[in-house]
Structure 1
């Protein structure tokens, strides 16, 4: 299996061209090659497929083999993957995802793709869209209980579920709370957990616990959910720099949509020497 390893501000995935459906998305195999000691090492796998409606279709899998709806950093890299491999000459691309249509505009410098801006769509603060077990229609700076511990956060869906929790300072340990919240009955389909420090009205710092992957260096959908949550809580303006462990994303909320701009980079290309992963 030929693959390309790519990263968007440290959010790294294994990319494959699966337009002919040679790969069957076996969860055990995805987990194996995502392992950072016994495999390639990645936050998961992203595949390019044909779409009946748009330019391409995106399939995204977490490091534990579970399928996710969308990945903001991943879709920037997937658009670069398609362009670099001459599967398209377009710089304005429309993708089919499990979270709906996503539009990507590539950024070129000297003919090379260095990043992209993604229309991440319309966010929702309705708890039914995550889903979340909560006694109100929205959870905005609301209290919820996991394992007897009380938390306060804002629940946002950007096609996948997020709970955004603002803190005075970023915690040193996010695994303990992140894992417990992800796997709690409060979020029946699990959840991405963001821990956020407000620097000023145009700058947020964030760490993220991603469902199915654990802590990652970056999360594009998480950055978008965080900005929308911060706007709802009147903590920032409509354009914000989000600082993550792997780098920075620029997020703008305009006309009801979230727009994300960030880099996309290929790290290496290779082949997996494995015999029993195809149908």
Structure 2
């Protein structure tokens, strides 16, 4: 469907209803599991991740609705699909950034980080918020459908994606340096906790999001008549499949294990402190002294 003011088209092909429905079902399944894991294990750092999964689910439901409108597409389902699928990975990234900080805390290895843990989450989540706002505002501007609005919106979206890529790239460097250093000189805490599989999952998910973001940059740089926008299969291969993979990865190796171990360590630490105070009091009484 073209607009009189430009060559803008909602879709450059007849979108597949079957593909949209299949991925809506798959995202519903993994998002439901994340909801269960998050609530049952109180892994609050995964709240942004779960919201991102809901964005993917709603995005593909909207795409399925748009498929049923072919060829008389309306703006609502199109913009919901485009915008939510576009910004969902930024929410995945927020939880991934927080996860590295939790791993550093669990292993007692903050001294091996290039950036202090208290600043690490703030820095990367801050960059992620900037990327999210740029992508969402760019997607909203593109809804204007005029040539000027489309060009401006695409440029803002590309800028947001570049910000995401730069922050993610630097984040992976920080994670790799920490991993290398603690591997060479393990802390006492790191020997007793299963942190390695969590950081490996973090790497895998980050790389999948990076590949997807690079694809999106190329897609938007090609413009409204680009080859990637003309072929639906690329959206599913380089976005839907990769983001589904990220969600499933964290279903299998869920960060709640880190949260549970941190809570357990805090409780044990408090118990040890209370026991020490009790022992001091008892010893003082036994010696006839006062506490």
* Short-chain TM bin: under 0.3
TM-score by length of 1: 0.27
Larger Rg: 2
More strand by share: 1
TM-score by length of 2: 0.26
